[in-house]
Structure 1
Amino acid sequence: MKNEQKVVAGIKIPDSAMAKAATELVRDTETDLLFHHSSRVFLFGALTGERKQLKYDAELLYIGAMFHDMGIMDQYASDHDRFEVDGANAARDFLSAYDVSERGVDDVWDSIALHTTPGIPQHKRPTVALVTAGVEMDVLGIAYDEFTDAQRHEVCSCHPRGLKFKHGIVSSFCLGTIRKPETTFGNVKADVLSYMDPTYKRENFVDMILNSKWES
Structure 2
Amino acid sequence: MSDALPLRILAGATIPDTPLVAAAIDYARKYSNNPTYNNVLRSLLLGFIIADKVLPDRDREVHAVAAILHDLGFPIGHPPDSPLLSKDKRFEVDGANAAREFLKREADSAAWDKHRVQLVWDAIALHTIGSVVFEKEPECQACSFGIWADFQGPDRVAGGLLTWDEYNAVVKEYPRLGLMKDLKEQMCTLCVTKPDTTYDNTGDRYVKDYSRKGKLTQDLLETCNLDDIQPK
For these two proteins, the number of residue pairs brought into alignment is: 208
Q: Return closer, same or farther for 1:109/1:72 CA change in 2, 3 Å cut-off.
A: same
1:137 aligns with 2:149: yes
Q: Which SS does the other structure have where 1:71 is aligned?
A: coil
Sequence identity percentage: 28
Q: 1:215 and 1:46 mapped to 2: Cα distance? A: 47
Matching residue of 2:90: 82
Structure 2 counterparts to residues 173-188 of structure 1, below 5 A: 173-185=187-199, 188=200
Normalised by the length of structure 1, the TM-score is 0.86
1:193 aligns with 2:203: yes
Q: 2:218 and 2:22 mapped to 1: Cα distance? A: 47
Q: Which SS does the other structure have where 1:13 is aligned?
A: strand
Matching residue of 1:121: 133
Q: 2:218 and 2:206 mapped to 1: Cα distance? A: 24
Quick one: which of 162, 172, 176 aligns to 1:161? 176
Structure 1 runs not aligned, ≥5 long: none
Q: Return closer, same or farther for 1:196/1:11 CA change in 2, 3 Å cut-off.
A: same
Normalised by the length of structure 2, the TM-score is 0.81
Structure 2 runs not aligned, ≥5 long: 1-5
Deviation at 1:200, TM superposition (A): 1.2
After superposition, give the CA deviation of every residue in 1:148-182 in whole Å (9 maximum; x if it has no partner). Answer: 122011100111113x2222222123334431111
Deviation at 1:14, TM superposition (A): 2.5
Matching residue of 2:3: none
Q: 2:60 and 2:223 mapped to 1: Cα distance? A: 47
- Paired residue type of 1:133: F
**Residues 14 and 49, structure 2, Cα contact 8 Å, conserved in 1:** no
- Paired residue type of 2:68: M
Q: 1:68 and 1:25 mapped to 2: Cα distance? A: 11
Matching residue of 2:53: 51
Matching residue of 2:21: 19
**Residues 62 and 116, structure 2, Cα contact 8 Å, conserved in 1:** yes
- Paired residue type of 2:103: L
Deviation at 1:207, TM superposition (A): 4.2
